[in-house]
Structure 1
């Protein structure tokens, strides 16, 4: 969409406040929190999608990124009891969960020897007996076996517990893990920063301020990270905007976030199963508003195993320019919660086809969004 088409679209909006927001988007002016809430409350899906797609194409054209990655989940045994979680097992019921040794996790890494994967993503439950030293040894072992593999690992929920148990500061703990081989942080554990919501859904783990501090320290060490938000449960639109505003503020300060990933609440087998899940309309609205509000985030990612392949394709018209990676079928966090993909694995060829089917340009990237291969110019290997 060019600026003339944008102007014509904006003339179809009768609400004066939305029209004003449209002009700010065109002129690349920052939206206020009140304007962000207004987008949720008054913006039609078609208008929001068109606005978000305009911004997406202004930033990236038709480029749609993915990477070749795999997951390691060291354990699903956890000291915390988040009400939305379908994945973890409390330590008192540890026989129902799993706990991998360093050698078992190295075996997972070895499965990808000779393959063109660029990233291993390590997240799991918070096991009371797995220490910061254990994970540092894991990082060193992976780097010794495959130095080129980017290690993205551990949410602030895991890190906060590790640091407190080891009686080290955030700064000391992050420096130790970074020097042991940790390259970047995933975005998990953010949920909703608002204390009033967090108290109801995950009161016993690190709070929003703690989550932000750990990412800030990582950025100060030269590491990059991702950011997420869990939406579609008991939060209101104002809580979503407040969450995004805090992320936007830290990004202004450090510039260390790679991408923002809205995560849809799934209601299977957890303490919040009584809640309905958000509709696909609400999902696409979430992506669109995120693209419009998070102006200093270069990338917006839809996690395809959570949304499903068709909805992930749809999201590419609502501001999304990244659909994550090839993953593999070992990731259980969303499949256990009732995600669309119960065996979340796609080959590179399948991901490329998924993107090309909706007339977008597939580009393989590394974790930090360095372009590796443009598949609109080359054949899939």
Structure 2
């Protein structure tokens, strides 16, 4: 039987019928479809799912350590313990920053590294319990799947056992990082000592089974091919079809300064917007796509809202080092009023949310 060739019309027909796109469709959207037509299709899907709403969140972001021995070639943040720029926050310092006034924020986001003296269940279970007791109104988005894998291997326990301990202490959700590209060829180059693609997916599968909803990401613009980007998206969609536990997908543009992949340079605006749009179209079963303004800058995030994204994040109380260390010149925090004004200027309705996308008042 002759296979119907992929065209914009066949893709549009699938979208109208709520039929998942194939990997071939995804590659076509990246490599052959006119840029503006991809954007139109993505914006139509975004509008069907989320109307005119554009979400933001008031949160505090902490990188509690930059000591890491994973050795990822794309990373500008990690340091070995004896390096001058290495740091590790104590429990008291973490609690002081997490609970500092004003603590009228809705989400605490923590990411560290593979730090043998901090990234452990023994350290974090009591730390989370104490944070949850002091700021019970704040939802805790803590750790990537790679960090969970590292903690559980060190504790010689299953993902289920480790995640249960963290959940029972007060963890709300896992962050989506550590996915990079979920293809072995790429991971063998960029992160060979970190959780494998299968391990990353399994951590999220187990978390979803325990009632822990999570985000997911894709780090693009380095050694991967377009086909590998699409494979990554397809794997996320397949897990979502199984568990329904992903709340949001976040495409992350590679930032090249100060790491071993610097020669690949910065992604371009067209690639960024097309990636947001293709992600929206491929991930039909994930409700939210984020144009992460700390990665893209606020102006590109505004454009992203017209290319399939419905969220721009919104870190306001912020100590985000990862992108700054990789050469980002974007201001790492912004007032709520400026975020709302940027959303309105783009033609959308600013909608303040919590970690699990419950709409909060006042907007």
TM-score by length of 1: 0.91
Root mean square deviation, CA, Å: 1.3
Quote the offset at 1:276 in angstroms.
Answer: 2.1
The reply on whether 1:83 has 2:73 as its aligned counterpart is yes
Which residue in 2 is equivalent to 1:119? 107
Which residue in 2 is equivalent to 1:47? 37
Contact 1:64 1:360 in 2 (8 A): yes
Which residue in 1 is equivalent to 2:336? 348
Deviations 1:221-269 (A, max 9, x none): 1010000000111111110111111110110111000000000001011
Deviations 1:147-204 (A, max 9, x none): 1211110111111111111111111111111111111101000000100011011111
For the residue of structure 2 that corresponds to 1:148, the secondary structure is coil
Q: Structure 2 CA distance, aligned partners of 1:39 and 1:87?
A: 33
Deviations 1:330-363 (A, max 9, x none): 111111112241x310111111001001111100
Describe how 1:160-175 pairs up with structure 2 within 5 A: 160-175=149-164
Which residue in 2 is equivalent to 1:183? 172
Q: Structure 2 CA distance, aligned partners of 1:86 and 1:150?
A: 28
Describe how 1:349-364 pairs up with structure 2 within 5 A: 349-364=337-352
Which residue in 2 is equivalent to 1:96? 85
Contact 1:307 1:340 in 2 (8 A): no
Q: Which stretches in structure 2 are left out of the alignment for 5+ residues? A: none
Quote the offset at 1:106 in angstroms.
Answer: 0.9
The reply on whether 1:336 has 2:325 as its aligned counterpart is yes
Q: Structure 2 CA distance, aligned partners of 1:325 and 1:66?
A: 5
Q: Structure 2 CA distance, aligned partners of 1:133 and 1:350?
A: 40
Quote the offset at 1:327 in angstroms.
Answer: 3.5
Quote the offset at 1:301 in angstroms.
Answer: 0.5
Which residue in 2 is equivalent to 1:143? 132
Contact 2:6 2:28 in 1 (8 A): no
The reply on whether 1:155 has 2:173 as its aligned counterpart is no
Contact 2:58 2:317 in 1 (8 A): no
Equivalent residue in structure 2 for 1:314, among 291, 303, 321: 303
For the residue of structure 1 that corresponds to 2:317, the secondary structure is coil
Quote the offset at 1:325 in angstroms.
Answer: 1.8
Q: Structure 2 CA distance, aligned partners of 1:369 and 1:110?
A: 22
For the residue of structure 1 that corresponds to 2:193, the secondary structure is coil
Q: Structure 2 CA distance, aligned partners of 1:253 and 1:172?
A: 21
Q: Structure 1 CA distance, aligned partners of 2:19 and 2:170?
A: 39
Q: Structure 1 CA distance, aligned partners of 2:20 and 2:227?
A: 17
Equivalent residue in structure 1 for 2:213, among 217, 220, 224: 224
Equivalent residue in structure 2 for 1:371, among 336, 359, 362: 359
Q: Which stretches in structure 1 are left out of the alignment for 5+ residues? A: 1-14, 376-381
Stretches of 4+ aligned residues off by more than 6 angstroms: none
